[in-house]
Amino acid sequence: MDYTKVFEFVKEMTAQNGRPDNYSFRSRYEHIMRVYRWAIKLQAKEGGDLEIIALAALLHDVGWDKERPHEEVSAEIAVEYLVEQGLDEAKIGRIGDIILRHNDKDTEEELSVECRVVMDADLLDEVGAMSVLWDSMATACEEEASYKKAYYRVKNYYRINQPKIRRCKTAAGRTEYTKRMKCIEEFLNELERELF
């Protein structure tokens, strides 16, 4: 598989699919690329078919429709694209299934290692330093932005995200999630000393 072509396809699809971003600084393409990098790191520790994991991560968010779940639309687009690229039919089916399931992070179903890796990669994006940056930038876009307002936003999302570790499907994902949350905790502790 020529991944340069896949990257170009993903960039093109995310640019034209009409999915609204909450903030101007958010980029669906950049999110996908971070998920892809997380998936590669997790696969190195958890195993699984690297090609299936890489392609599922790259194509997991390419679709959007106001009337249907994005994972359904993304799976349809991914399957059609991979058929055109001549990928093995069995692999296409597995990739489509992962994309269909990637958003159901609370499932208790038995999942393939490939699916678990992609789900954890998606969960890990924007947790840790990325979430601090996101919350800070989002606060800066609001009226009456302040350091304290950003602090309270980061602290609130830290509290909300703490229990989400239960959604991690792999040991490597849980380890990374714990590290990311520790990063936020340390940042908040330091910021508290400087702000108050």
The encoded tokens of residue 63 equal 């679709």
Q: What angle do CA 185, 186, 190 make, to 5 degrees?
A: 120
Q: Which amino acid is at 3?
A: Y
CA distances from 190 to 54, 179, 186, 196 (A): 37, 17, 6, 10
CA distances from 24 to 15, 20, 153 (A): 13, 10, 18
Contact by Cβ (8 Å): 47, 113: yes
Cα(118)–Cα(132) distance, rounded to whole angstroms? 23
Cα(16)–Cα(122) distance, rounded to whole angstroms? 21
Cα(53)–Cα(112) distance, rounded to whole angstroms? 11
Cα(32)–Cα(27) distance, rounded to whole angstroms? 9
Query: In the chain, what's the furthest Cα-to-Cα distance?
Result: 60
- pLDDT, tens digit only, all 196 positions of the chain: 899 999 999 999 999 988 877 778 888 999 999 999 999 999 999 999 999 999 999 999 999 998 999 999 999 999 999 999 999 999 999 999 999 999 999 999 999 999 999 999 999 998 999 999 999 999 999 999 999 999 999 999 999 999 999 999 999 999 999 999 999 999 999 999 999 9
